[in-house]
């Protein structure tokens, strides 16, 4: 005697997390900038991100925002990996699906690690280490974004919502490539700390937030039925 138990998992509900995360992160970052600018701790025009979280009282808001931002990034990266493995590739038991999904996630987790170390080692503690790991964070996320977009584009299971998501991701990544190119040229000309470098940092942060928002498009059509077979 045999049977099959079906359990429904609603990815539509999961789609709300990137939206809530983006709202909290954006609010926290703007609060840090506003407080630092009013207190005279950072220039009003395009300050560096690190300058907005170095001193009291903005550093306390910055610490909370950093925790929310990085934990949310981690959750989004892992959730997208699970989504790609179980839904996008349509075969949660496939070795290829597992390898691709978690290989992409690994790049994202490297980026998160870079941001975490940069957050722990502030510019005031060791500027060189902070700068190095900040770049690992941003460049690592660029690599993750490209890999995730390519994986979703090539996945055998495609829908209208996912095609729209891929188009949005490609547009956002193109803006990111331009931002990275400008940043590299500025650093090559020894203009670190310049307002234009600050603009590149803020633009990169906005791009990361927008990229995470596209996950809502992926998840909204990802209603999945998980099947558990049993013999009795």
Confidence of residue 49 (pLDDT cuts 50, 70, 90): confident
3-state secondary structure of 106: helix
For the segment 188-199, the average pLDDT, to the nearest whole number, is: 81
Cβ atoms 198, 48 nearer than 8 A: yes
Tokens of 210: 């927008």
Quick: pLDDT tens for 202-226.
999 999 999 999 998 888 765 543 3
> Residue 209 contacts by C-beta under 8 Å, 6 or more apart in sequence?
22, 25, 26
Three-class SS of 135-173: HHHHHHHHHHHHHHHHHHHHCCCCCHHHHHHHHHHHHHH
> Residue 9 contacts by C-beta under 8 Å, 6 or more apart in sequence?
223, 224, 225, 226
Residue, of 60 and 125, whose pLDDT is higher? 60
Quick: pLDDT tens for 90-141.
655 578 788 888 999 999 999 999 999 988 887 778 878 988 999 999 999 9
Tokens of 107: 């790049």
Strand partners, 225: 8
Q: Given this model, what pLDDT does residue 173 score?
A: 95
Q: Given this model, what pLDDT does residue 124 score?
A: 74
Specify the range with the lowest mean pLDDT, choosing from 80-89, 127-136, 142-151, 179-188: 80-89
């Amino acid at each position: 005697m045999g049977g099959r138990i079906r359990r429904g998992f609603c990815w539509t509900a999961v789609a709300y997390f990137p939206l809530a995360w983006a709202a909290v992160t954006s609010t926290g970052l703007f609060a840090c900038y506003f407080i630092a600018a009013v207190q005279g701790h950072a220039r009003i025009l395009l300050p560096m991100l690190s300058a907005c979280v170095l001193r009291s009282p903005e550093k306390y808001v910055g610490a909370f925002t950093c925790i929310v931002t990085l934990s949310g990034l981690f959750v989004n990266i892992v959730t997208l990996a699970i989504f790609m493995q179980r839904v996008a590739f349509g075969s949660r038991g496939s070795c290829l699906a597992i390898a691709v999904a978690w290989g992409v996630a690994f790049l994202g987790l490297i980026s998160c690690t870079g941001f975490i170390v940069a957050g722990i080692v502030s510019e005031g503690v060791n500027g060189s280490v902070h700068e190095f790991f900040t770049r690992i964070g941003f460049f690592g996320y660029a690599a993750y974004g490209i890999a995730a977009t390519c994986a979703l584009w090539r996945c055998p299971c495609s829908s209208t919502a996912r095609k729209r998501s891929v188009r949005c991701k490609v547009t956002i990544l193109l803006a990111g490539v331009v931002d990275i190119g400008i940043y590299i040229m500025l650093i090559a000309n020894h203009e670190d700390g310049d307002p234009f470098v600050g603009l590149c940092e803020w633009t990169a942060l906005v791009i990361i937030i927008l990229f995470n928002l596209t996950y809502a498009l992926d998840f909204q059509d990802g209603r999945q039925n998980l099947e558990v077979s049993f013999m009795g």
